[in-house]
Amino acid sequence: GAGVSQSPRYKVAKRGQDVALRCDPISGHVSLFWYQQALGQGPEFLTYFQNEAQLDKSGLPSDRFFAERPEGSVSTLKIQRTQQEDSAVYLCASSLDSNYGYTFGSGTRLTVV
Amino acid sequence: TQLLEQSPQFLSIQEGENLTVYCNSSSVFSSLQWYRQEPGEGPVLLVTVVTGGEVKKLKRLTFQFGDARKDSSLHITAAQPGDTGLYLCAGRLAYSGGSNYKLTFGKGTLLTVNP
């Protein structure tokens, strides 16, 4: 596609519910990143994929967070047993190469109630 | 401690005024990028600077990378309401131990340009 597509745009989850956030990167982009942006803050790194390989997951806040990119294209960020502190905008970005600038999607705003 | 400190945090000005926002760190960066983010959207890349002392211009926007590659500034001339948004700087650490793919973001400067 022309840009990075994320779905859903908005998600309201009850505390304890599992959620799955989808990212469809620009075709041919090798690098894919997930970031978390809390209200009034800059994006914080969560995880990095090069093709299907997850090379860095050091930013994932806990073992409730899991990301995958099985065929080196679409990626899914899963959050199990959501908690209120998980409320944030989750941004996906892709890049031709890890040294290039990122193209971000519009994000998924997750609200845990 | 924030790796990249941006100032000011908020800025509200009138159309036609000039402004400068700053991005500072005690760490050295191999490259630094500026993004603009509008409400409900993801950040959009404006510029990448890689050489100490480098100056890049994008219409009314002027970006400068510090000589020591630890800081950067963004100057906007004759601001317009369309410039309103969150301006984020983001950098790749020069000595990142192999994780030079990772962009570290500042908290941003929220700019409002009033007509």
Domains along the sequence of chain A with CATH:
5-112 (2.60.40.10)
Question: What integer pLDDT is reported at residue B84 of this predicted model?
Answer: 97
Sheet strand arrangement including B19-24: B5-7, B19-24, B71-76, B61-65, B55-58
Chain A interface includes B48 (CB < 8 A)? yes
Tens of pLDDT, residue by residue over B36-77, are 999 999 999 999 999 999 999 999 999 999 999 999 999 999
CATH number reported for the structural domain that contains residue B25 in this entry: 2.60.40.10
Computed over every residue of chain B, the mean pLDDT equals 94
Task: Identify residues of A whose CB sits under 8 angstroms from chain B CBs.
Answer: 4, 31, 33, 35, 40-45, 48, 50, 55-56, 91, 93, 98-99, 101-107
Q: Do B42 and A4 touch (CB under 8 A)?
A: yes
CA distance A107 to B43: 10
CA B61 to chain centre: 11
CA proximity to B85, closest of B37, B44, B46: B37
CA distance A43 to A4: 16
Question: What integer pLDDT is reported at residue A63 of this predicted model?
Answer: 96
Question: What integer pLDDT is reported at residue A47 of this predicted model?
Answer: 98
User: How far away is chain B from the Cα of A83, in angstroms, using its nearest Cα?
Assistant: 22
In sequence order, the β-bridge partners of residue A34 are A47, A92
Give the percent of chain B with pLDDT over 70.
99
More reliable by pLDDT, A62 or A100: A62
Phi, psi of A77, deg, nearest 5 = -105, 120
Tens of pLDDT, residue by residue over B11-40, are 999 999 999 999 999 999 999 999 999 999
Q: Which domain holds residue B11?
A: 5-114
B 76-115 → A contacts, CB under 8 A: 88, 90, 92, 99-108
CA proximity to B92, closest of B47, B31, B42: B31
CA distance B17 to B13: 7
CA proximity to B23, closest of B91, B86, B85, B82: B91
CA distance B73 to B93: 17
Question: Is the distance from CB of A84 to CB of A102 less than 8 angstroms?
Answer: no
Looking at the structure of chain B, the number of domains it has is: 1
